[in-house]
Amino acid sequence: MSRNLKVSVGLIVAAVIAVLVAVLAGGDGPAAAPSTSGDDPLVRSDSQRLSVGDTDVTFVEFLDFECEACRAAHPAIEELRQIYGDRVTFVVRNFPLHENSEAAAQAAEAAAAQGEYEAMYNLLFETQPDWGEKSTSQRDVFFGFAADLGLDMDEFTAVYEAEETIDLIRRDKADGTALGVTGTPSFFLEGEKIEPSSFEELITEFDAALES
Rounded to the nearest 10 degrees, the angle between the axes of helix 139-148 and helix 117-126 is 130
pLDDT of the residue at 39:
82
Q: What is the CATH number of the domain that holds 124?
A: 3.40.30.10
* CA-only gyration radius of the chain, Å: 16
183 — alpha (psi -120 to 50), left (phi > 0) or beta? beta
Q: What is the bridge-based pairing of β-strands 48-51 and 186-189?
A: unpaired
Better-predicted residue by pLDDT, 71 or 6:
71
pLDDT tens digits, 46-97: 999 999 999 999 999 999 999 999 999 999 999 999 999 999 999 999 999 9
Measured between alpha carbons, how far apart are the two ends of the chain, in Å? 33
Assigned domain for 36 exists = no
pLDDT tens digits, 93-113: 999 999 999 999 999 999 999
* Helix H or strand E segment including 106: helix 101-112
Q: Indicate the average pLDDT of the chain.
A: 87
Query: What does the alpha-carbon distance between residue 186 and residue 176 come to, in Å, rounded to a whole number?
Result: 9
Q: Reading across the β-sheet that carries 186-189, which strands appear in turn? A: 48-51, 89-94, 58-63, 186-189, 192-194
pLDDT tens digits, 129-170: 999 999 999 999 999 999 999 999 999 999 999 999 999 999
pLDDT of the residue at 22:
39
Query: pLDDT above 70 covers what percent of the chain?
Result: 82
Asked whether the predicted pLDDT for residue 37 surpasses 70, the reply is: no
Asked whether the predicted pLDDT for residue 198 surpasses 70, the reply is: yes
What is the domain range of residue 8?
Answer: 3-23+42-207
Assigned domain for 10 exists = yes
Assigned domain for 33 exists = no
For 28-173, strand residue ranges (E) read: 48-51, 58-63, 89-94
Assigned domain for 76 exists = yes
Asked whether the predicted pLDDT for residue 20 surpasses 70, the reply is: no
Query: What does the alpha-carbon distance between residue 28 and residue 36 come to, in Å, rounded to a whole number?
Result: 23
Assigned domain for 122 exists = yes
Total of domains in the chain = 1
Query: What does the alpha-carbon distance between residue 63 and residue 173 come to, in Å, rounded to a whole number?
Result: 9
Closest-CA residue to 91 (of 158, 21, 43): 43
The pLDDT-based confidence of 6 (bands split at 50, 70, 90) is very low
Assigned domain for 149 exists = yes
Assigned domain for 196 exists = yes
The pLDDT-based confidence of 175 (bands split at 50, 70, 90) is very high
pLDDT of the residue at 145:
98
Assigned domain for 37 exists = no
